[in-house]
Amino acid sequence: MTNGEFSGWGRYPRATGALVCPAAPDRVHSALQAAGDGDIIARGMGRSYGDSALAATMLDSGLLDHYIHFDPDTGVLDCEAGVSLDQILRLLVPQGWFPPVTPGTRFVTVGGAIAADVHGKNHHRDGCFSAHVPALELVLADGSSVCCSPRDNSDLFRATCGGMGLTGMITRATLQMRRIPSSVLRETVIRTTDLAQTLALFDEHHDAGYSVAWLDCLAPTGRLGRSLVMLGEHDDTTDVLDLHRVPRLRVPLDAPAGLLNRYTLRLFNALYYARGPGQPTTRRVHYGSFFYPLDAIREWNRLYGRRGFVQYQFVLPREAGMAGLTLVLERIARSGHGSFLSVLKALGPANDNHLSFPMEGYTLALDFRVEPALFALLDELDAIVHDHGGRIYLAKDARMQREYVHRGYPYLDVFREVRMRYGAHRRFHSHQSRRLGI
């Protein structure tokens, strides 16, 4: 057990707690018994940004990192929940298999990916992570372990996928991997001049395997929403299966608070945009740089300085996308706060999970350095997002007001019922679930 100060990837907020590492899936129940009366939450690699993996007792899945079985004919992988996507890539890319859905970092555990029901650049075609999880095993508040799937204990499955660890601790999972012809992607980059053109491109390329846009959130007026739209397909003209490299670069210390200010951010955004090709350009890139560009720099979260940062990610329904995104971007431009990286993506339809984030529409993720004036701005953005029928991603959230989680997540009451049915509400809480009254 380690007592100390912990935080999410955004390094805001920080909280003290005890980190407990059960040695095996069948030891989780004794860890629960030993934890006393305080709040308990599972924790993987700590890559949720805010306070969703913070509690008095955090059950670390680090030692639940064993594979159970892989079937090279069907691509079905059984593993424990602490196995990371990084490890899975190392095992399976050389055999021609790839995670069916991957977020923008490979440093997440399988348990964390399920709990946040993460999505990737293929959400419009392949849905969330949970769509490729035929079954999982969960340790409940009473220490018993239960298997659930879309068919068996489906209430628990629907609540656990996207449930932010609030139903219990995921200990094992079955994943359906996807076949890849090579480790190479054909990436097409298209530069757009404004938001309307960016959104139109997502429409036009709705059948692309992967799509995402990097957006210049500090663009001059009239150029609001100008982006580099990136499309990708697994390259079937080659059969090389090379692994990603181990990151060599690391941010050695907390950057001074002023490093990322409005001027450097504006400059970076403008340069990045200008680097984009005038004409649509296709090139072949490794999956490492296509999916995980930021993983090349370890501890990049220190760039935002000691006080940390907040990643603000919301989704707006399709029909409200243009109007809502315009309001949000205008409001940010007026504020003088800027985001180093702003990522826009068109999402496919929502699933049946009670708290999964995606819905058909557009999601935008922005990073803001923590400073006192930031929170009032984010409150204003919350109002815009929810007035347009959108919601905030819980895996990123560190500061949302409680009223909004009810507006954004209409199945929150169903989720609460499931939690009560299995006694989870008395044991499993994070700082986030307390803050939001989940």
Partner 1 sequence: MSTLIIGATSRIALATARELASAGDRLYLVARDADALDRLARDLRTRGAQVDTAVHDVNDTASQDSMLETAWSTLGRVDTVLIAHGTLPDQAACERDIPRALAEFTTNAVAGLGLALDIANRLERQGEGTLAMITSVAGERGRQSNYLYGAAKAAVSRLLEGLAHRFSGSGVRVLDIRPGLVDTPMTANFPKGPLWASAEQVGGRIANLLQVGAEGVRYVPRRWFWIMLIIRSLPRALLHRTRL
Quote the CA–CA distance of 127 and 359 in Å, as a whole number: 10
Give the nearer residue to partner 1 in terms of CB position, either 2 or 282.
2
Q: Which of 355, 356, 358, 357 is nearest to 419 (CA)?
A: 355
- Of residues 158-187, which lie at the interface with partner 1 (CB under 8 A)? none
Judge whether 103 and 122 are in contact, CB under 8 Å.
no
Q: For residue 278, what are its two tokens?
A: 């005038």
Q: Does 1 bind partner 1 (CB under 8 A)?
A: yes
Q: Which residues are CB-neighbours of 429 under 8 A, at least 6 positions away?
A: 39, 40, 41, 55, 166
Choice from 15, 56, 76, 91 touching partner 1 (CB under 8 A): 91
Q: Which of 436, 363, 428 is nearest to 103 (CA)?
A: 363
Give the nearer residue to partner 1 in terms of CB position, either 79 or 329.
79
Q: For residue 84, what are its two tokens?
A: 């990371």
Choice from 5, 37, 69, 373 touching partner 1 (CB under 8 A): 69
**Residue 354 beta carbon to partner 1: minimum distance, rounded to whole angstroms:** 32
Letter for the amino acid at 289? S
Binding segment for partner 1 among 67-75, 235-243, 308-316, 384-392 (CB under 8 A)? 67-75
Q: For residue 279, what are its two tokens?
A: 């004409």
Give the nearer residue to partner 1 in terms of CB position, either 139 or 377.
139
**Residue 289 beta carbon to partner 1: minimum distance, rounded to whole angstroms:** 24
**Residue 139 beta carbon to partner 1: minimum distance, rounded to whole angstroms:** 16
Choice from 15, 29, 56, 63 touching partner 1 (CB under 8 A): 63
**Residue 326 beta carbon to partner 1: minimum distance, rounded to whole angstroms:** 47
Q: For residue 306, what are its two tokens?
A: 């000691």
Quote the CA–CA distance of 177 and 171 in Å, as a whole number: 19
Choice from 9, 70, 129, 214 touching partner 1 (CB under 8 A): 70
Q: For residue 214, what are its two tokens?
A: 């990097």
Q: Does 2 bind partner 1 (CB under 8 A)?
A: yes
Quote the CA–CA distance of 373 and 370 in Å, as a whole number: 8
Q: Does 26 bind partner 1 (CB under 8 A)?
A: yes
What DSSP string runs through 217-264?
Answer: TTPPTT-TT-EEEEEEEE--S----PPPPPP-EE--SPPPTTSS-HHH
- Of residues 306-365, which lie at the interface with partner 1 (CB under 8 A)? none
**Residue 67 beta carbon to partner 1: minimum distance, rounded to whole angstroms:** 4
Interface pattern 253-292 for partner 1 (x via CB under 8 A): ----------------------------------------
**Residue 263 beta carbon to partner 1: minimum distance, rounded to whole angstroms:** 35
The residues that touch partner 1, with contacts defined as CB under 8 A, are 1-2, 21, 23-24, 26, 63, 66-70, 91
